[in-house]
Structure 1
Amino acid sequence: MHAEVSTQSTAGGRTPTVIRVLVLATFVVILNETIMINAIPRLMTDLHVGERSAQWVSTAFMLTMAAVIPTTGWFLQRVTTRRAYSLAMGIFLVGTALSSVAPTFSVLLLGRVIQACGTAVMMPLLMTTLMTVVPEQDRGRVMGNVTLAISVAPAMGPVISGLVLQIGSWRWLFVLVLPIAAGVTWFGLRHLENVGEPQSGAIDGYSVGFAALGFGGLVYGLSKIGGGNDTEAIGIVAAGAVLIAVFAARQIRLQRTGSPLLDLRVLLIGTYTKALVLMAVAFLAMLGSMMLLPLYLQNLRGLSALETGLLVMPGGLAMGLLGPTIGKLFDRFGGRWLVIPGSIGITAALAGFTQISLHMPYGQLLALHILLMVSLAATFTPVFTLGLGALPPHLYSHGSSMLGTLQQVSAAFGTALVITVMTTRATSLVNSGHDPISAHLDGMRLAFAVSAVLALVVIVMAILLPSRAAASAHAEDHAATEPALS
């Protein structure tokens, strides 16, 4: 998607129609990403698969996202907005329909992979279009609305699936999404306008292969850590890291000819790189807590999946609903006074979770989770806006693609880290004579402590970020126009 366009009007504080359509579509596809979490036991029974196999309905989705998102920067520059939207939503609809009627687990897995291919395009498309059509002074407010969509959707997914599974089959999770997604697609094609002109340029097949195998392998290896064969998992992670290095070297070479799959010159922009690091570590901490809390509530406190979803839902809703307000505050006052307190709140909440016990009041758990989610809201909206705002327009799509890719890697790394820390500590205590429940609890406390220590990096990055992106963008723009990374 070519970035040199006239900015659409946002007079009167209105969000452009193109952004409204893309936010709605993104909400639907991200809701679908977490909606299968509670369905694992049903899948095991209905499709006759083991627990590790059933987990692949989530793992395959994440792997596909990691493999496809690195290609979206190139893709979005070479097709129109409407073409990108129609392809993404069309692919998502095909995957959803296939999943709803899947006769076997293999077909369901294929449907989830197809869904993920469509989902992988939507978030970079939304971010790139937002940065292109929304004036700098309004970006915080509009990005706040985006935060509402991407925060509330995953929070609602497990709750909605819990309610649906109380009264119907897991197939209804797809049957219900299908007409909603179809309606959003129809609405979007009626109202969506093209933004910019596509560029020409051939795709580099080797880069696609290296990206898919490298990022996909890295995420897959990380997802296997803690599953009993860590030597194999670490080998896969190492192989993925090598392929990513090869991919990066090829992109640097292709930048001299002007057609890289993922333009790494975005990393020469200091503000963007700081925002990238902050976002990755914060996302890691968030995903770690999202993994640990359900384990704690269900395995140690005896709550059902639906009760767990209802307990953590207020935090997700608070994060999303505060997004627009935080965006407006960012537009008025800048990012530092939001991001620094937000990063401190993230660290404080994670430190609070290190005190969990078998008798901690649910109200205290709820308060800590809401603090974490609100602090993440105060951090994510300004960081996304500052980071992408520091890029020159022709790199928006590549910056969005890099952000999306790193989110998937951070999610996998965060999950692997907390599970490894927890299981290693619990196993060590059990072997030394402690009872399994107290050992498991102590392992969770240590995992939250590691997350809290990592969150200190978020505070450091928050202090280093500027309050506004515009000044840094002009100062650093020359770096992004260099022919290659040196």
Structure 2
Amino acid sequence: MNNNLYDQRIKIISAFLIATFIGLFNETALNMAFVQLIADFNSDAPTIQWLTTGYLLTLGVLVPISAILMQRFTTRQLFVASLVFSIVGTFIAAISPTFIILMLGRIIQAAGTAIILPLMMQVVLLVYPINKRGAAMGKIGLVIIFAPAIGPTIAGLVIDQFSWHYIFWLSLPFLVFSLFFGLKFIQNVSEVKIVKFDILSIILSTIGFGGIVYGFSISGKLGTFMSTEVLVSVGIGLLSLVLFGFRQTKMEQPMLNLSVFTFRMFNMGLAIIMICMMMILSTMVLLPIYLQNILLLTPVIAGLALLPGGVINAFMSVIAGNMFDRFGPRVMVPGGLFMGIIALFALRTIDGTTSVYFVVAFHIIMFVGITLTMMPAQTNGLNQLPKQLYPDGTAIMNTLQQVSGAIGTAVAITIMSISTANYVNENGNTVAAQLEGSIQGVQNSITFGLIIAIIGFVLSLLLRNVRQGK
């Protein structure tokens, strides 16, 4: 490790944290505007949901390429490129008059986030020694969990007074500041080498991740998981990923070195992180809809209801990082997932008469649990990798993290849509039936989150502490 880089670590990491915070804030900020967007674009929830799913899908498609980018270009070059994408995409979204233009802006935004996420992770691994990474990853955890958690709250405050366009106008100056701050302080921390882009690998990974996420996403519109279009899309995606994996094992310089999957704690950490992302993003798309459409709260009140979970999460992320350096993951991760299970078990009972304080309390418990889970599982998994696999490990972890979030969001919306439609079909298309159907839809979607949380808890019992890098 370069001691000079370690001495400059705060300045180097700060620019990344600001840029990544805004990028991940944008993942969920529009969730609070879904009701307004449905009205403005004369659309429906499964279509508007693509503004979140499409963002996550773009991350899932582009992040795998970052492993090559981080070897071929300098840290500063990639940082500037990511901020340029983010700024341009945010500006397009801010002025967008139609759904298509807004979708375009979201995709360009996501391209910037796709570069900055794994780049930040690699910089931490290279700048911090293994016994100091917990605290550093705690700061990253603050951003990765707090930003999407606080997004709906800030968006609710904004759209209560202005239109949803101002969510993007609010983000723009922070991105510009981050660009100039980074140009001043960020140093090149990795070695650049000539690595070839393999076009076929890029095509296969794009079709693979894109097909899977697209298949799950259209199921909400179609009202079933079992339609031919859904099954074909997911099937093509899975086949493409199998071919992608096979090709990587035969290449002298693979796009992604899949030997990271030979490290057991990396695999365990990856699986738990994917489960956490599905819990976070499915909940963050469901609760704003529930609070506004069922409890009939205004966007600003609904946003404020989700604020305590985000704020407490921010403090807990830093605490969890320091706890990890001292205790490791074996107690923290199962304990955190157990808290998530308790919270989701309670939230699956919400209905039209539930107190908003009940929702706030268990939303807080869930996010404290996720904070105690994600960063320790992620850091422990990456710690087991040798240094030469850092780019591949961070790229794979960030890719599957975003893809799982996209799938979780899509599945939650689909379950809600199917449950609502089934109830209305059985009980008549009345206002009361629509309301009760929506309640059942939210309950069933949260039950999905509860099931995957239980799976994650079982996996967490098999974790062991990785104290030494290889």
User: Kindly tell me: are residues 287 and 41 of structure 1, through their superposed partners in 2, closer, same or farther at Cα, counting changes over 3 Å?
Assistant: closer
Cα deviation, residue 301, structure 1: 1.4
Is 2:43 aligned against 1:50?
A: yes
Is 2:80 aligned against 1:94?
A: no
Is 2:176 aligned against 1:182?
A: yes
User: Kindly tell me: are residues 416 and 183 of structure 1, through their superposed partners in 2, closer, same or farther at Cα, counting changes over 3 Å?
Assistant: closer
Is 2:69 aligned against 1:75?
A: yes
TM (norm. structure 2) is 0.91
Q: Specify the alignment match of 2:447 in structure 1.
A: 449
User: Kindly tell me: are residues 35 and 440 of structure 1, through their superposed partners in 2, closer, same or farther at Cα, counting changes over 3 Å?
Assistant: closer
Pairing 1:275-314 to 2, within 5 Å after superposition: 275-314=269-308
- State which drifts further: 54-63 or 311-320: 54-63
Is 2:452 aligned against 1:458?
A: no
- State which drifts further: 35-44 or 403-412: 35-44
Out of 372, 375, 381, the residue aligned to residue 369 of structure 2 is 375
Secondary structure of 1:445's counterpart equals: helix
Does the Cα contact within 8 Å between 1:219 and 1:408 map onto a contact in 2? no
Does the Cα contact within 8 Å between 2:260 and 2:392 map onto a contact in 1? yes
2-structure distance, mates of 1:40, 1:338? 35
User: Kindly tell me: are residues 8 and 131 of structure 1, through their superposed partners in 2, closer, same or farther at Cα, counting changes over 3 Å?
Assistant: farther
Does the Cα contact within 8 Å between 2:93 and 2:102 map onto a contact in 1? yes
2-structure distance, mates of 1:424, 1:54? 16
Does the Cα contact within 8 Å between 2:150 and 2:306 map onto a contact in 1? no
Cα deviation, residue 425, structure 1: 4.2
Does the Cα contact within 8 Å between 1:150 and 1:320 map onto a contact in 2? no
String of CA shifts for 1:44-81, please: whole Å, max 9, x gaps. Answer: 666x5534655443333222112111111111111111
Cα deviation, residue 398, structure 1: 1.1
Cα deviation, residue 179, structure 1: 2.1
- State which drifts further: 97-106 or 37-46: 37-46
Does the Cα contact within 8 Å between 1:271 and 1:469 map onto a contact in 2? no
User: Kindly tell me: are residues 456 and 50 of structure 1, through their superposed partners in 2, closer, same or farther at Cα, counting changes over 3 Å?
Assistant: closer
Residue identity matched to 1:248:
G
Out of 241, 245, 248, the residue aligned to residue 238 of structure 2 is 241
Cα deviation, residue 367, structure 1: 1.2
Cα deviation, residue 40, structure 1: 4.5
Residue identity matched to 1:447:
S
String of CA shifts for 1:306-354, please: whole Å, max 9, x gaps. Answer: 2222111211221122111111111112221211211111111111122
1-structure distance, mates of 2:157, 2:122? 35
Pairing 1:340-379 to 2, within 5 Å after superposition: 340-379=334-373
Is 2:408 aligned against 1:409?
A: no
2-structure distance, mates of 1:247, 1:463? 32
Pairing 1:7-46 to 2, within 5 Å after superposition: 10=6, 15-40=9-34
Residue identity matched to 2:236:
A
Out of 99, 105, 125, the residue aligned to residue 119 of structure 2 is 125
Pairing 1:187-198 to 2, within 5 Å after superposition: 187-198=181-192
Is 2:201 aligned against 1:207?
A: yes
2-structure distance, mates of 1:204, 1:396? 20
2-structure distance, mates of 1:53, 1:427? 16
User: Kindly tell me: are residues 6 and 164 of structure 1, through their superposed partners in 2, closer, same or farther at Cα, counting changes over 3 Å?
Assistant: same
Does the Cα contact within 8 Å between 1:7 and 1:132 map onto a contact in 2? no
Q: Specify the alignment match of 1:6 in structure 2.
A: 2
Q: Specify the alignment match of 1:115 in structure 2.
A: 109
Does the Cα contact within 8 Å between 2:24 and 2:147 map onto a contact in 1? yes
Query: Structure 2: which 5+ runs fail to align?
Result: none
User: Kindly tell me: are residues 56 and 345 of structure 1, through their superposed partners in 2, closer, same or farther at Cα, counting changes over 3 Å?
Assistant: closer
TM (norm. structure 1) is 0.88
Does the Cα contact within 8 Å between 1:9 and 1:16 map onto a contact in 2? no
Identity %: 33
After superposition, the CA RMSD in angstroms is 2.3
Count of residues paired in the alignment: 462
Secondary structure of 1:200's counterpart equals: coil
String of CA shifts for 1:387-446, please: whole Å, max 9, x gaps. Answer: 111111111111111111112221122223333444444444444449623344334333
Query: Structure 1: which 5+ runs fail to align?
Result: 475-486
2-structure distance, mates of 1:163, 1:295? 16
